[in-house]
Amino acid sequence: MRRSEFLRAVEAEFGARGDALVADLVLSAVGARTAAQAMDSGVPPREVWLALCAEMDVPESRRYGAGRIEQKRR
């Protein structure tokens, strides 16, 4: 997962409050940092996404592959 995919996943799952969650919610699973701080310090976006989902009780069925753009068909 790239950072851009992470941001799309956050927007899709959390809507308007997504930016605030990324900036303000401290996630213990990534070293007691916010999602933004964790990614800025090198934690992979996928790991941050999963930590955010766990913290916010997102069902497992909505965690995998979120934020990915479908490949163009030829």
**CA count, 13 A, side-chain hemisphere, 29:** 15
What is the residue-averaged pLDDT of the chain? 89
Q: Please report where in the chains the tokens 């990534």 appear, as a residue.
A: 30
Confidence of residue 33 (pLDDT cuts 50, 70, 90): very high
pLDDT in tens, 43-73: 999 999 999 999 999 998 888 766 555 555 6
What pLDDT was estimated at residue 73?
Answer: 60
2: which 2 tokens? 């790239």
pTM here? Answer: 0.84
What pLDDT was estimated at residue 61?
Answer: 83
CB 16 within 8 A of CB 10: no
Residues 6+ apart with CB under 8 A from 40: none
Share of the chain above pLDDT 90, in %: 76
